Copies of this chain bind each other. A is one copy, B any other.
Amino acid sequence: MGDIKRTEISTLGEFCLIEKLTKDFEIKNPSTIKGVGDDAAVLDYNGFKTVVSTDLLMEGIHFDLSYFPLRHLGFKSVIVNLSDIYSMNAIPKQITVSLGLSNRFSVEALEEIYFGIKTACEAYGVDLVGGDTTSSHSGLTISITAIGQGEENKLAYRSGAKPGDIICVTGDLGASYLGLQLLERERQLQKSDPNIKIDLEDQKYLIGRFLKPEARKDIIELFQKSNLVPTSMIDISDGLASELFHISKQSKVGILIEEDKIPIHPDAQQMALKFQVDPTTAALSGGEDYELLFTVDPKDLEIVRYLPDVNIIGEVKELQDGINLLSTGKKLHKLKAQGWKHF
């Protein structure tokens, strides 16, 4: 991690540590009544629905610190949770952050993580309101809970898609997965020759998509401006295919998507070919895109058609039709949910 200064965490008490790490966080939301510093945070959501999401990220499973800079890790840990709140068509307002750390981490390392957390909080207008910092026998564990608010009639569940609805996805898919493959490959190279100089400068897009993804706050704001309420919505963390299965299962509907409509960035196209991976497979199964997959009523077609960075990729079908991909060669393929498996 290349720390110049190294302060052992044990030299600070736990409370002192939390104070040190959180003192620069300012409270931005009127719904935050009481933040860090008591047994619990106090929030006020009078008249709104409260939306809560939580994630547990473990070193060696969800991230590898040999190529994941700590400040990016802090940032991304927040983003993945905010993305879950946005995907309900709600606005995240607060987060809690719990960290488990082995003694290989210094206070400076922790400050790097919190720098990333703070950057995300500022970019998304979210308040840090609590958490827990504890030691761990092995590696780094990050647990984040995000809390947001949504209007009762505008919340978008996974269960609201109806046959005939239009299926949309934001941004582009597969780039994050290919960024990860790049970093993994470079790590292997560096293992075999520690003096090797690696220039990833021309792969900034793919690596950035993996190391520093953004949550689609902008899309939720566009929905509000255009008075559009998706019939269902989910964020793409495990891969497009896996998320389509969730929509299908919970809405009890079939799915048809068209291969040539799936948005893939040119850099991802090229890198997939280099890695001898089908670009569509990378988009379907890669995951960690943190784009939004949503369905809208056909009456809203003219609205979504002109929304920037929104792609229409298919149509909701009857349950018995199953989950299918119409290939570029106009053949129908049954989709498999090859989401990202932890176990």
Contacts and interface: CB of A to CB of B under 8 A. Distances in A.
A30 to B, nearest CB: 13
B96 A54 contact: yes
A61 B137 contact: yes
A145 B54 contact: yes
Interface string A37-77: 11111111111011111111111111000000000000000
Contacts of A145: 52, 54, 96, 145
Contacts of A281: none
Contacts of A157: 34, 38
Contacts of A62: 134
A130 B53 contact: yes
Given A135-B343, A147-B52, A39 B94 contact: no
Contacts of A137: 58-61, 138-139
A291 interface: no
Nearest to A17: B343
A148 interface: yes
Nearest to A129: B52
A223 B124 CA distance: 39
A85 B38 CA distance: 10
A341 interface: yes
A335 to B, nearest CB: 16
Contacts of A212: none
A287 interface: no
Given A40-B148, A50-B50, A136 B33 contact: no
A44 B52 CA distance: 11
Contact of A158 (B14, B37, B83): B37
Contact of A132 (B10, B55, B59): B55
Contacts of A159: 38
Given A10-B343, A14-B341, A50 B45 contact: yes
A229 interface: no
Contacts of A53: 39-41, 130
B49 A343 contact: no
A231 interface: no
A250 interface: yes
A234 B39 contact: yes
Given A46-B47, A47-B46, A52-B145, A40 B84 contact: yes
A240 interface: no
Interface of A: 9-10, 12-15, 17, 33-34, 37-47, 49-62, 83-85, 87-88, 90, 94, 96, 98-100, 103, 129-139, 141, 143, 145-148, 150, 152, 155, 157-159, 234-235, 246, 250, 341-343
7 contacts: A12-B343, A44-B152, A45-B45, A52-B145, A56-B134, A61-B135, A143-B143
| 3 tightest Cβ-Cβ pairs between the two chains A and B | A40-B53, A143-B143, A56-B98
